Amino acid sequence: MAAREAHGVRLDVREQLELLVSAEGVLARAFDGLAASVKPHAADDVAPQAWYAADVCRRHIDALAPHVSAHSSPDHSRPNDVPSLPAEDLLLLASLVALAWDMVGTAAWATADDDLGALVERCSEQTHRQLDWLMRRLYYQELPGSTNGRD
């Protein structure tokens, strides 16, 4: 499908999907890095929750695959490197993924792609839960390298 105009904004679904797949992949690897860096004395659920969040990101990528194919996007390989990001950068990355879901949602609406719209609704909600979890853990300084000025 070609780019369309919606409210004066040029929407290219393929470009938005590529950005989202890439951002979800980096976020998955960053959550893997977080889980791997958790010290034994950290809150008990940080590592399992981070592994789970990484898995959710990978499921988002898998769920996007048919839409990526339908919009003639090139193959997206997943690098094996696991980024080690400061906790605040992980929050910023998760925020980018949430924004990318919003942009893909707008593109789905503009192209009347109901299947993609339903996927966006489900996955966007999951990404916002990841953001909530990260913000809560950052606030209580329960993530490796997190600071929030509460000292």
CA 27 to chain centre: 5
Question: Which range among 28-32, 73-77, 130-134 shows the weakest confidence by mean pLDDT?
Answer: 73-77
Kindly list the distances between the CA atom of residue 56 and the CA atoms of 53, 62, 128, in Å, as whole numbers in the listed order. Answer: 5, 10, 12
Query: How much is the pTM?
Result: 0.73
Task: Give the model's pLDDT for residue 8.
Answer: 46
Q: Which residues contact 118 (CB under 8 A, 6 or more apart)?
A: none
CATH dotted code for 12-139: 1.20.1260.10
In tens, the pLDDT along 100-126 reads: 999 999 989 998 999 999 999 999 999
**Residue ranges per structural domain of the chain:** 12-139
Task: Give the model's pLDDT for residue 148.
Answer: 62
